Amino acid sequence: MKLVLIALLVGFHIQAADNPLSLSKQKLGEIPAGFRIIRVGPGKPGTAKVIRAAVPNATTGALEEQRVLEVTGGDSNSSHYTLLLLEKPEQKDFVCSTRFKITNGTGVRAAGLVFRMQPNHKDYYLLAIKPLSKEAFWTVFKNNLPVKGFRYDDEQFTPPNDGWQSIKLTCENNNLEWTLNHRRDFVTYDPKKVPDYRVGTVGYWVRSDSQVQFAAPRINTLQEERKLQLINLLLKITRDNTRVLSLQLAARPTEGTAPVVVASIDPKEIGKPAHEVITKVLETRENFYGHNDKGVATITVPVKDRNGDTVAVTRMRLSSKKENTERKDLAYGNVIAKQLQAGILDLHFLFK
């Protein structure tokens, strides 16, 4: 049963990965459709194509063949930059992530992400890494010139053992937060002092003639990303608690409306109207217990926020032996509810 549930969740991730940066439908050996390649500085624009490559799994380290985007800069001059830009859609607040490895080049070896690129293709933000010198940069460009930013170097830089740099970037209004190789940084810029780009396109940045492979590119809205995090939390709880057969979380989109399933280890349930028992639990704030003759207990319990207010309800099916009492099953279910409470800071963002 657990393997089936995990397979269902993997299917959900495959659907969620169907975003503008996904390589799954792009043609091998060609520049990805929907992208535009430009250059800044001397020389000609570089090249870009989708290829297959062996990439180490981020968790296990085992090599896996997958599609990657290979971008090669067009000139070894240190003032040359090749940019591969996603033409549509424009992004406002989002989460973008990728892993990359520089595989060749005679000039300055560096790569990263450009984001909130303006229509003139000259004003944008850059998050970049120079692996050899162990440096990373956040830079604001105006008319293709750096006007603001900061760097951190080898004392703060953590290089990956497998050579694959990892970037996860979150943009919300004038708050920018990122993780580079598991090191978190952020900046809240003053719109009055820094060129304020709130909406724009994203893309890849390569310096000089660096040849770079970008793997697992992904972009989500903040709402999509937070829902994925919530689903991953449910999956972890399912893995850690062997009795759990199904697990979902439901809440009201707005006060007075009917509750819906906001997260589940079964992706087919997400967004569907919640079970009528969930409405009763939201109203009474009391636990609900059910048991059938097949040894399955159904537990429905409130999930509270840090102020003790009921903000959601979790409903689960548990394997239940004959010797298990209602009290024991409810105690088990309440432990899971507390794990959810510890992992959820705010449910309201799910409906924004």
The residue from 219, 253, 279 where one domain ends is: 219
Residue 11 belongs to some domain of the structure? no
Q: Are residues 127 and 213 in the same domain?
A: yes
Q: For the domain that residue 156 is a member of, what is the CATH number?
A: 2.60.120.560
Sheet (strand 135-142) strand order: 35-40, 81-86, 201-207, 111-117, 124-130, 135-142, 145-152
Residues 6+ apart with CB under 8 A from 258: 252, 273, 274, 279
Q: What does DSSP assign to residue 24? A: T
Contact, 153 vs 133, CB < 8 A? yes
Q: Are residues 74 and 199 in the same domain?
A: yes
Residue closest to 203 by CA, chosen among 179, 167, 172: 167
Q: Are residues 68 and 167 in the same domain?
A: yes
**Domain span at 295:** 241-351
Q: How many domains does the chain have?
A: 2
Residue 228 belongs to some domain of the structure? no
Q: Are residues 276 and 341 in the same domain?
A: yes
Predicted confidence pLDDT, tens digits, the chain (352 residues): 444 444 444 444 434 446 899 999 999 999 999 999 999 999 999 999 999 999 999 888 999 999 999 999 999 999 999 999 999 899 999 999 999 999 999 999 999 999 999 999 999 999 999 999 999 999 999 999 999 999 887 777 788 989 999 999 999 999 999 999 988 899 999 999 999 999 999 999 999 999 999 999 999 998 888 888 888 899 999 999 999 999 999 999 888 899 999 999 998 999 999 999 999 999 999 999 999 988 999 999 999 877 788 889 999 999 998 778 999 999 999 999 998 888 776 665 555 5
Q: Are residues 146 and 294 in the same domain?
A: no
Q: For the domain that residue 284 is a member of, what is the CATH number?
A: 3.30.450.40
Q: Are residues 149 and 266 in the same domain?
A: no
Q: Are residues 45 and 192 in the same domain?
A: yes
